[in-house]
Structure 1
Amino acid sequence: MNDLKVCFSGPRSGRWPMTVGQKNVLEWISPDLPGPADILSTMVRVPRESTMEAVGAALGALIGRQEALRTLLRDGEQFVHASGTLVVEVVEATGTGQGWFPPGRAFDPAVDFPIRAGVVTRSGSPFLVVLHVSHVAADLSAMTVLRAELAALLAGRPLPPAAYHPADQAVYERTPAGRRRLEGSVRYWARQMAEKPLCALGLPFRFPGARGHHHLLLGSRPAAQALAHVAADTGVRPPAVVMAAFASLLTSWTGSPGCQLNCLCNNRFSPELRDYVGTVAQETTVPFTASPSFLRSVSQTNAAALAAYKYGRYDPARLSEAKGEAERARGMRCHRDVVVNNTTGHSRAILPGSGMEPGMGDRVFGAPAEFDVYRLDGTLGCGLALDARLATADETAAILGGVERLIVAAADGDVDPAGFGIPPAERGPGWVRARSCWVDLAGVQAVADAALGPGVARIEVAGDELIAHVGRDTDVSAAARAVVEAVLREERHGVVAPGDYVRAVG
């Protein structure tokens, strides 16, 4: 079947600086091979009796009204084009399977308009429109907006003008108020990185030869019912209950008093951003503190998340500078230990109706621990991936199953999370608590030997302090810098630079 040629035009064009959201995505998006989050997809059913011409007109109107879909990014600027053409692939449906129109190659933000579309037909008539959008132009919330707007345009329903676009957001970010907000966020996160443990998942590689992650998915109707009950009783949002359940079992296993949960914030708290098509979601860190009272942990997690989300918008370049300063000052890498994704309503994961099944390719990040929340209503759907060097598949299943059991038990009253999940990890005599985290003393000694030469520094722990004893002829400042740089090159958790250097006397 012939492709559909869609012409579009919009009321405004021009050149503006990039938004912090656009710059944030460009920092991690793949220029060659799209990762799971680089291209976002959605499907919209076409009304019966609709024609191919009507589908083309709806797509043209959608791109014309949303500037993000006709914008190119290069050299720190966004270029909004007044008009253009989109070639839409048309395929005839065969069977009942999906995958009629795959995302294809990675978008080049400097060359490609950030949208691809396909029309699936049955007996020659359009019945489904598939959209693939680059993450530089839309986040998950924006995809919800695009899906709703395309459905309205296909049905012939009127839409109010799209009044706020990435160009407008870029202008706001450069006003005094916008700059104050962004700088305030960087200061907030700089304090967090300077004060909070930066390595919350210090565990030995029990299986050093293993590769990848153990990934499991859970579906549970009883947990969904219990979740609604716990959320109503505590007055918190349901995602906070699930996050607290997972973090409680994780900290119980790792023997840590708390952990840092890396979570996405949608940043759509302002009225003008409610129907905004662009990318404003950015990663935040929610501190979690373990407690023998699960309901207390739930309330604390909800409060911590709300506090973190106030600072969810920031300049990624400025934050990267602050992160580097914190790493050098504290002698440890800011590991992304634990990622929690709330992708309710957007996930492509096929969830089990009940129980657990192996996960299939819906993961986004490569952190040692990734917990995904896919569904909250009717069935609790979530997934857990653990670095295979740290845990077995059975342990992964026990932690994920423990999340279900803990939430169900909490519906009948407060419980101690220690009774769920798996026993605390065994680290051996070489592991100690120092500098607010678990430290592999032998691992630190090996890094110091590699940086300074064997025997130049002797590493020990005094109280909570990690100390390096060096010879009286050693240049302490140079040695400290060398060890910190070596630590920052390490990818293994539990390796932290000494906080104090003691020169030999006599």
Structure 2
Amino acid sequence: KVLKRLFLAEEGGGGLAAEPFAYWEEWPLRVAFVVAGGYVRHIVLVLCHLAADGHAAELVVKDFRLLLLRDSLPPLRSATPRELAAWQHSPEGRRVSGEAIGFWLEEYARMDPVPPSSHVPGEPRFVEATMRSPALAAAAQAVAARNRVSSSTVLLAGAMRLAGGLTGQRFCGMRVIVNNRFAAARRDVVSTISQEALVVLDLRTESFDALVRQAWGTALRAYRQAQYDPYAMEEAVTRAGPGIRSFGCFNDQRLVQEDGQVTALEGKTEVARTDAMDRNICDFRLHVGGEPGRMEISCYADTALLPPPGIEQYLLDLEGLIVEAART
């Protein structure tokens, strides 16, 4: 019975999430209840990503549990979405946005052009592969500890080095998802406040460790410039020229503050196709997740940019690069 209810909850959640939100006609939250024996056994919440990012979704679930257990919530300490929007339209908010746009344009000016795609698009056009690696988490953390950076920085440096090998760029740029929750007043905002930062690296370094250290300082500066008016940013970047663009997006959703001494678990590396949806979210995207000691990295790419075998090989090359760096 428990398994049946869980199946019904997953089935209900999948059904609610499958239909795109009609932004102008419905609330950005859908709810379903799984009832058995006259009682609600499971509650399914589906949030529109325009209304909540990953952290905000966790806050919604946390508050829902508190309401069920205590029938009350603690006092609100973070800004509301309305207050955050008011700040964004204030002189201070516009100044922050303008500085971020200026920073991006300066970084774009450093980048080498990305050559046009040379492969014939496949069917489906966009393909995702996921690698589950017992060795990668320990290797990334070993390199991170040696250079006093985060394992996320090590993965970003490796991803960008391989991207430069695909594009032939020396100065390569990649967009990185930033949660923008550094300030206490924004930590628990239930909204989508994450935005992209632009990280540009000079890939011609004497060692991978040197590239990792460069990535650490460069990424920290970029994180500070990840709050901006997206429409103004799009207009400014479009004027920079079609040949000057970043190579894809990097998103590490792990809790990187949990970095520590991790020993690789037993088992072999697995790479498998995980998504065949023909939708253009991004021409190239890396997503990092998984459990401690068993890292999971997905690569989603336009087959005109990288054919399916190349997508899988990219993930294996990333593992090989960082595992080898950990040994040296």
TM-score band, normalised by shorter chain: 0.7 to 0.9
TM-score, normalised with respect to structure 2: 0.83
Cα pair 1:203 1:254 within 8 Å, conserved: no
Counterparts of 1:105-504 in structure 2, within 5 Å, are 105-156=19-70, 158-163=72-77, 164-193=79-108, 195-197=109-111, 199-200=113-114, 202=115, 205-207=118-120, 212-290=125-203, 291-327=205-241, 332-344=242-254, 354-360=269-275, 365-375=280-290, 377-413=292-328
How has the CA–CA distance of structure 1 residues 353 and 276 changed in structure 2, closer, same or farther, with 3 Å as cutoff?
farther
| Identical amino acids, percent of aligned pairs | 25
Task: Give the distance between the partners of 2:251 and 2:36, measured in 1 at CA.
Answer: 36
Structure 1: which 5+ runs fail to align? 1-91, 346-351, 414-506
Change (3 A) 1:94 1:247: closer
Equivalenced residues, count: 311
The one-letter code of the counterpart of 1:220 is S
Q: Is the 8 A contact 1:190 1:319 kept in 2?
A: no
Bigger relative contact order, structure 1 or 2, given CA contacts below 8 A and separation 6+? 2
Could you tell me how far apart the structure 1 residues matched to 2:59 and 2:131 are? 28
Question: Could you tell me how far apart the structure 2 residues matched to 1:393 and 1:170 are?
Answer: 41
Task: Give the CA RMSD over aligned residues.
Answer: 2.9
Query: Residues of 1 paired with 2:50 and 2:305: CA distance?
Result: 34
Aligned partners of 2:278 and 2:93: how far apart in 1? 33
Structure 2 contact 9–42 (Cα < 8 Å) conserved: no
Report the residue type matching 1:229 in the other structure: A
The corresponding residue for 1:490 is none
2:5 aligned partner: 93
CA offset at residue 256 of structure 1? 2.0
Change (3 A) 1:322 1:143: same
Q: Is the Cα–Cα contact under 8 Å of residues 369 and 387 in structure 1 kept in the other structure?
A: yes
The answer to whether the 8 A contact 1:336-1:367 is kept is no
- Alpha carbons of structure 1 residues 211 and 335: separation in structure 2 relative to 1, 3 Å: farther
1:280 maps to amino acid: I
- Aligned AA (1:186): I
Structure 2 CA distance for aligned equivalents of residues 338 and 371 of structure 1 = 8
Indicate how the Cα distance of structure 1 residues 363 and 223 shifts in structure 2: closer, same or farther if over 3 A, else same.
farther
Larger Rg: 1
Unaligned runs of 5+ in 2: 256-266
